[in-house]
A = this chain, B = another copy of it.
């Protein structure tokens, strides 16, 4: 491995000069001639700075700790990780991931990351919940992703659930549906109530009545199927907004049993949580994507901005995701996430 000393020796200069030049701090310190020479010999030797040595000296590692609950059990962890990774990579950072799925030893895992000297942490749940941040993290730069800090001390990036409910319902309205049902989730998730509000708001804005009989919350399996069956028979909706695609499946099952075809006799929009419908059906028709990638991306951006001490104007951010690569998602990218921060709480 070629070191800085090698470059210095061959270029006939000192380590100090090499360091200055290769870090772009040579303005007015090193003669442009020698600087150029140094750059060339470095390139010729294929010199790559040793991050460890640099980190030991600067006590900055450019590593981010990515802590996630539930990577293993939810399909979309990858989206968040990828988003975080892209942002990190763009700024010269790298991700040290740790999953605390089943582990009792969360604290130990965190301690391990700290020994490696990560510059900050991304703390991610896999569905937005009120969260207590582990105490040991509170001394570090920290951003929550798809989770809400109970103490409101740390910024978080969360899905805009209201908009998800609103846009999904709007799409059914635009498709001409007259009796639009909401098949929600019985668990008290943040997403559940906000999507419901979005659903109701969309109906209101379109001048349509809000009928509680068209709204059922279900869990899984048999009881869920029966509840949806009842909804079918008693209310005969022509449009269904489903909390997720697991719930959408019940609608498909009920429709099939009644000889109805989705996309012709009834319309269904479900929030895509499992990808199954993306593969089996025409995705244009039925799914709304959660902004997992975006949350990871913006979470990492925010974290890095904290680490590097930049002052970020969070008021225009991340509503305007300019640096984001274009989304070729099955639906227009109207669903975004939002940043909750001390500087810009909008709720």
Contacts and interface: CB of A to CB of B under 8 A. Distances in A.
Interface in A50-87: 50-53, 55-56, 61, 63, 66, 70-79, 81-82, 85-86
Contacts of A257: 256-257, 259
B74 A78 contact: yes
Contacts of A76: 75
- When all copies of this chain in the complex are counted, the total is 2
A48 B115 contact: yes
A82 B94 contact: no
Interface in A89-145: 89, 94-99, 101-103, 109, 111-117
A98 to B, nearest CB: 7
B78 A73 contact: yes
Contacts of A103: 86
Contacts of A282: 221
A179 interface: no
A243 to B, nearest CB: 12
A281 interface: yes
A275 interface: yes
Nearest to A117: B52
Interface of A: 48-53, 55-56, 61, 63, 66, 70-79, 81-82, 85-86, 89, 94-99, 101-103, 109, 111-117, 220-221, 224, 245-246, 249-250, 252-253, 256-257, 259, 274-276, 279-282, 293, 325
B293 A276 contact: no
A331 to B, nearest CB: 17
A63 B115 CA distance: 12
Contact of A115 (B49, B66, B99, B276): B49
Contacts of A73: 78
B276 A249 contact: yes
A250 to B, nearest CB: 7
A135 to B, nearest CB: 14
Most buried by B among A103, A256, A276, A282: A276
A79 B72 contact: yes
Contacts of A52: 52, 55-56, 61, 116-117
Nearest to A274: B276
A245 B278 CA distance: 12
Nearest to A95: B97
A89 B110 CA distance: 11
A275 B70 CA distance: 14
A223 to B, nearest CB: 12
Given A56-B56, A253-B256, A78 B72 contact: yes
A256 B275 CA distance: 21
